[in-house]
Amino acid sequence: MLKAKFDRLIKNAVITDQALDDAIKESERSGSHIEETLMRKGIPKHEILICLSEYYGCPFVEYEEDIMVSRNITMGLDMQKLKSDLWFPLSARNGRAEVIVSDPENRAVADDVKKGLNVDRIKFFLALPSDIVRIIENNQDVNPGFSAEAGRTPLAMVRTFLAERRSLLACIRTSLAKARTGLAFIRTGIAFITVALVLFRLFGIGYLTILEAVLLLAGLFMAVDGFLWYIPARQRGKRIFDCNCTELTWGTSVLTISNILESPSFERSGIVEGATKLRKDWRGLSPVMRRRFLACDRTDLAEERTSLACYRTMMARARTGLAFTRTGIAFIGIGIALLRQFHAGVWTMFDALLIIMGFAMVTEGFYWYFPGRRAGGKGFASVRNVYRKRSIWEIVFPPVHRDPGSEDDSYPHIPVTRSQSPGIWGTTGLALERTLLAERRNVMARLRTVMARSRTGLAFVRTGMSISAVGAGLLVYFGVGLLTWTIFDSVLILSGLALVVDGLYWHIPADKIRRQFPYCFGDMEITLPDYGRPARYWKKVVFNHD
């Protein structure tokens, strides 16, 4: 029966009887459709379609991007099942449906059509299996071989969740900045309290007592207020995110989202078969296919921006931890100075309490510091690695190389009809503009990450200087009379210097990269494309901080 479908090919000498038998056997061995096997052997597609159309007695259709069906018709259908069953509805109304199939005599398909579309009568149109699959994929808004998750709507949903995560990270960074401000209040309050207590211990009750009381109350207020700023930020900052970013594939794999209702997580599919070859043929892609790839590009770029925002948040945690460390160092320095300056007595417990609280703060600060330090290293490495890869410009506008002596200067024909120009090209141009602007945002996100590493390095320097200053101050003021205290002071000085060196190691390379970026200016100029006019007539708009 299978061979009878292609009698016309034999009669018209398009293929021999033996060659048809061989094609049928090869198709059965490989599990592919006989139509695809015949085309691989050089049989023209239109000959196969005419042959099958005469056999089944129904008109045939070929894949075109214009074959789009209302969402109301396909809403209740399983598109993946339609790919395996090889049918697709064109219309369904008043109990009658028009359906594209590869085998109009398949009763199971006819029953599925009637049940799925709730119709009694069916008009069949014949199409090759590969064309049916492409028509279904086109209505799913995906390129050949891609899953439904590669459609522009699912990708837009992924980008929305990534944007939500970046907003959350920005809120955490703001809270951490508030916490650092609170720690500055605490350090200021400690200074006020210290001055008040030292004056009281030196002069006792007298005419300065009122001033000492005012300083003490002001210091206590600042310290308590600072802690009230710090504690909520600490709770938010404890949340750990996975900052790792998947490998950028320029649209040849798909970024998907899962577990949306509880804790959204992002995963990347493997490289889609044939996608790399398809992407390389950029000049031969239709506008719609280009826009789908560009949507994947924007999603990949959004993932990188989110990863960089995560690294910046972890570094902000480290800076907050270092601010807490500096606060603890201030407690320790004051406590030790008071303990060594005054004889043991009623105030000794207070001095010891300052030292204990200081060590607790230093421990807390370094607990925040180490994860941030690892994130800073990974973030800096990711920024450096990305510049070893191709950019969107090289993907979209690859250099054209021709063989020496070649006289063929033509490019592949792009499947676009007269009715689609210039509107469809304008839409694609805008998609390209959005993608290029997205990459520009990524470039600036990389710059912010580098500058965040630089700021974190400077925070290392400030903390190291604070530790060394406390050690040096104690050593200079009290001298080297006691070996134990001299060793302790020396350890503080050396530890601080080590942190200063580490900070400079972070700051100097980052600052060097910062100076290489051309984006450190206040105004931003953006071209407003108008694809109905030549590029030289496009207008520009300038955004500034005013």
| The pLDDT of residue 156 is above 50 | yes
Quick count: other Cβ atoms within 10 Å of Cβ 209?
14
What are the b/e assignments for 7-45, b being 16+ CB within 10 Å?
Answer: ebbeeeebbeeeebeebbeebeeeeeebbebbbeeebee
| Residue 90: φ, ψ to 5° | -95, -35
Amino acid occupying residue 423: G
| Dist. CA 157–CA 159, nearest whole Å | 5
Average pLDDT (213-242) is 81
pLDDT confidence of residue 409: 42
pLDDT confidence of residue 393: 66
Quick count: other Cβ atoms within 10 Å of Cβ 314?
27
Amino acid occupying residue 55: Y
User: Where residue 4 falls among pLDDT bands split at 50, 70, 90?
Assistant: confident
pLDDT in tens, 48-79: 888 888 888 889 888 887 888 888 888 888 88
Lowest mean pLDDT among 375-379, 389-393, 409-413: 409-413
What is the percentage of the chain residues whose pLDDT exceeds 90?
3
| Residue whose entry in the numeric block shows the structure tokens 């056997």 | 25
pLDDT confidence of residue 319: 84
pLDDT confidence of residue 100: 92
| The pLDDT of residue 248 is above 70 | yes
Token representation of residue 335: 């406590």
Cα radius of gyration rounded to whole Å, the chain: 35
Average pLDDT (431-458) is 82
| Dist. CA 517–CA 129, nearest whole Å | 52
* Nearest alpha-carbon partner for 79 in 24, 150, 128: 150
User: Where residue 544 falls among pLDDT bands split at 50, 70, 90?
Assistant: low
- HSE value, Cβ hemisphere, 13 Å, CA-based, for 352: 7
CATH number among 3.30.43.10, 3.40.50.300, 3.30.300.160, 3.30.420.40, domain 62-140: 3.30.300.160
pLDDT in tens, 273-301: 888 888 888 878 888 888 888 899 899 98
More confident residue, 136 or 369: 136
pLDDT in tens, 330-373: 888 888 887 777 777 777 887 888 888 888 888 877 777 777 77
| The pLDDT of residue 398 is above 80 | no
Domain residue ranges of the chain, discontinuous segments joined by +: 1-57, 62-140, 152-398+421-441
Amino acid occupying residue 507: H
Strand partners, 526: 541
pLDDT confidence of residue 369: 75
3-state secondary structure of 480: coil
* DSSP assignment of 104-147: TT-HHHHHHHHHHHT-SEEEEEE--HHHHHHHHHHHTT--TT--
pLDDT confidence of residue 176: 85
